[in-house]
Structure 1
Amino acid sequence: MDQILSLLSDTLPKAQTLEQLTRPLLALLSKVTGMESTYLTTIDTDEGVQRVEFARNSGDMVIPEGLVVPWTDTLCKQALDENRLYSDNVAERQRL
């Protein structure tokens, strides 16, 4: 926990851009959750798309930065619609 707090206290005051803030936080999120991919997206509801702005990948699954997908087809939308904060089995949750 001390290492996490140290990273936060080092990161937050030094960040001058969204990217400088986001990249260390994605690394921290990965460390805390054990997830191999963490990413920050934006959602354009008018256009109906979700875009991956920043991504951190440490395993076989790769979420590319710049990826644009239809918002209606995303796990994020499904999770929001279902008020679900976490899924430990994405394959079963994915709408086909």
Structure 2
Amino acid sequence: MYSVEDSKKAYLQEAGKNWTQVELLFVQDYDYVDADLSIERYGDTLSVEYVDVRSQSTHKCFSRHLFYIPVEKNGIKYFSFHNVVYEVVRDYVGGLN
């Protein structure tokens, strides 16, 4: 079971030679979004945002989000999504598939 403290953490795990998987828990977002992602690094923070949104549902809920980021963007302390900053926790193995 996840705790409230988990809601402000980004869990990282290697996902192959060229990718790192980032998991966020309890993210409030639309049920469905068809969009490209902007991935920008600012110092020790990696920021991910939707760009060029083609369609999205009208209903929002809390859900788990998974992102695959290029390994060269790794080495971060913070992860930002929807203007919420998450503390990075490395080598997390629970729940990542």
TM-score normalised over the length of structure 2: 0.31
Bigger fraction of residues in helix: 1
Between Structure 1 and Structure 2, whose CA radius of gyration is higher? 1
Bigger fraction of residues in strand: 2
- If asked which structure has higher relative contact order (CA below 8 Å, sep 6+), I would say 2
